[in-house]
């Protein structure tokens, strides 16, 4: 456990030592900020609906950008050999990397907190700002981010090239986002299955303010699958 955190801490620090961190988080904030302002000031609506509505798409790009270098870079520079000959289990390495990535996303989300705060302040007198969907929305974002990051981490383990890692991660995340978008043309049972596999569908549930264990379980299982695949791929690097 301690060693997992040591890996996570090192990764977290080195992420913020590189300009990539600031570019990725910066772009995220610009896009999120634009969406926020366009709803609140143009449509005059005191909610974060537009922000949460588009966040899944944002994360499809943002999550693989955070994870792309995590393992690809170590494979390329050879430091993976150093890391994998330390007294650590492979899953500890993977867990450390994952926690670091989650931490980075959390830092990015932290910077969006002024949005709900100002919206709450701007809410018309007499009306009460509804914090429920906001808190749930953030929780949902973190859960969704976990599953995307786990998939992105696996993509990063597959190649020595960060860009390849990014593109594979992007495709994986996009697939899980897009999977239910053509559900209406399919028979109902197949449509329901696809809907269940959709990251977007579960997020919409949570962002509405409803915390259903089924949605949470979905994200946690997708995360677990991603991390298990990453651990497996690391094992193959040893072959």
Q: Is 213 near other proteins (CB under 8 A)?
A: no
Q: Residue 4 CB, nearest distance to other proteins (Å)? A: 10
Distance, CA of 159 to CA of 49 (rounded, Å): 37
Q: Is 77 near other proteins (CB under 8 A)?
A: yes
Q: Which of 1, 42, 85, 127 binds other proteins (CB under 8 A)?
A: 85
Residues 91 to 110: which contact other proteins by CB under 8 A? Answer: none
Nearest to 163 by CA among 101, 103, 76: 76
Cβ atoms of 39 and 51 within 8 Å: the answer is yes
Q: Residue 97 CB, nearest distance to other proteins (Å)? A: 13
Q: Is 189 near other proteins (CB under 8 A)?
A: no
Count of residues for the chain? 239
Structure tokens at 221: 């299982």
Distance, CA of 46 to CA of 116 (rounded, Å): 9
Distance, CA of 164 to CA of 238 (rounded, Å): 21
Stretch touching other proteins by CB under 8 A, among 7-15, 45-53, 148-156, 202-210: 7-15
Distance, CA of 38 to CA of 22 (rounded, Å): 24
Q: Which of 10, 49, 160, 208 binds other proteins (CB under 8 A)?
A: 10
Residues engaged in binding other proteins (CB under 8 A): 2-3, 6-7, 10, 13-14, 17-18, 77-82, 84-89, 238-239
């Amino acid at each position: 456990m301690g060693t997992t955190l040591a890996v996570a801490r090192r990764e977290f620090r080195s992420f913020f030592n590189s300009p990539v961190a600031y570019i990725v988080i910066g772009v995220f904030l610009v896009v999120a900020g634009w969406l926020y302002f366009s709803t609140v000031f143009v449509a005059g609506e005191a909610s974060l609906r537009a922000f949460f509505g588009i966040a899944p798409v944002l994360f499809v790009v943002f999550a693989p950008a955070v994870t792309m270098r995590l393992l690809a870079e170590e494979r390329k520079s050879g430091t993976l050999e150093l890391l994998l000959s330390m007294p650590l289990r492979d899953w500890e390495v993977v867990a450390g990397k994952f926690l670091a990535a989650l931490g980075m996303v959390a830092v990015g989300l932290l910077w969006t907190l002024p949005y709900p705060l100002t919206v709450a302040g701007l809410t018309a007198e007499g009306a009460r700002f509804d914090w429920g969907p906001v808190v749930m929305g953030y929780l949902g974002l973190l859960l969704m981010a976990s599953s995307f990051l786990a998939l992105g981490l696996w993509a990063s383990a597959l190649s020595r090239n960060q860009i390849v890692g990014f593109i594979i991660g992007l495709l994986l995340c996009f697939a899980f986002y897009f999977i239910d978008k053509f559900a209406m043309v399919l028979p109902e049972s197949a449509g329901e299955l696809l809907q269940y596999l959709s990251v977007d569908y579960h997020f919409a549930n949570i962002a509405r303010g409803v915390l259903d264990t089924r949605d949470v379980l979905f994200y946690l299982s997708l995360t677990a699958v991603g991390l298990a695949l990453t651990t497996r791929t690391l094992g193959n690097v040893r072959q």
